[in-house]
Every structure is written in C-alpha cells, then in structure tokens.
Amino acid sequence: MINILLLDRDGVINIDKSYLSNPNDLEFVPGAVEGLQRFRDSGYRFFIFTNQSGIGHEIFTRDDFDRCMTRLFNMLDKEGIKIESYRVCPHHREQGCDCRKPKTGMWESLCEEYSDLDPEKCIMIGDKDADIIFGKNIGCSTARIISEVYPMEEKGDYTVKDLNELADILLK
C-alpha cells in the first residue's frame, strides 16, 4: 500500500519560475496544498527530491536555495504540512554526478537516513520526464503532473493536473 509521497518541488508544490532564487517569489501550485493536506490526513509521509542546476551553473547560490526551502517549509507548516526530509542535486547535467534525477543517488542517500523506506510504498510525483524515470529507476509508482512547459515523453502510472486530483484517485 502506498503511503509515502516522493515529490519534485518546482511545478509540483510551488509554481516553477525557472531558477527560483528569491524566497518571496514562492507560490503554491493550485491544488498542491489541498492535496497534501488530504494525503496528510490519510497518514502519508512526504519527501522532496529536487534537481537545482541553477546552483551548478552559478545562476544562484546554495544559500539562495536554502532560503527558498526554509520559506517553503514555513509556508507548508502554516498549512499543517510537514516534509520529513529532502534531497537536492546542485549539479548541472554536464557535471556527471550520481545524484541528478533520473539517477538514484538522492534516493540512496535518503535510504541511508531512513532505513524503513520501501519503494513499493512510495509514489514519485513530478512534472518532468526525469522525475518519472527516477521513480521507475527506484522501483516505485509514478504520477505525472501535466505541465504546459515540459513535454511529456515519459508517462507516469497516473497523469493528473495537480496533487489534489491525485488525492482523488489514490484516496478512494
């Protein structure tokens, strides 16, 4: 039974503003808060996995990213939503790291800290092909948030407009 959401950040929780570096620019994706609250009320756990190539390209700093995450966590906390942990890949594609989605380094790192994680109890939710491939690579279910920005070549097990619609499906 699925009871853990693995969430991409930009385009799933907050509106993807391309290289988000100012915490004041954070806005929730419509339906994200409502969906997360419904999953929370059903006992789900939440983890974030995010590629942030803007750090590797020196468009913004790790401190900028950390300030955005702090604000995001504060905004979610006001809505009664707690993210247990997160992982970030600060590299760009050409840096050849093991942590950039769809590679599984961020998952492996999280599993070192949370030994109770089981991919069969997880669903990876993202708006890009890399998110869906990442979920498949770790062996979990996947849900694709429809994006007007990113083409959909890789289909998820579920395709939805937002987290609230995914809650409609999974919490039946």
Whether 162 is catalytic is: no
Q: Which of 8, 16, 64, 131 is catalytic?
A: 8
Residue in the structure block whose two tokens are 């937002």: 162
Angle at which helices 32-41 and 163-170 cross, to 10°: 30
Distance of CA 35 to the CA centre of its chain: 14
CA angle 34, 10, 18 (to 5 degrees): 140
Residue pair 126/12 in contact by the 8 Å Cβ criterion: yes
Q: Radius of gyration of the chain from Cα atoms? A: 15
Residue type, 85: S
Distance CA 3, CA 36 (A): 12
Q: Which of 10, 16, 64, 162 is catalytic?
A: 10
Whether 131 is catalytic is: no
Residue pair 38/3 in contact by the 8 Å Cβ criterion: no
- Catalytic amino acids? 8, 10
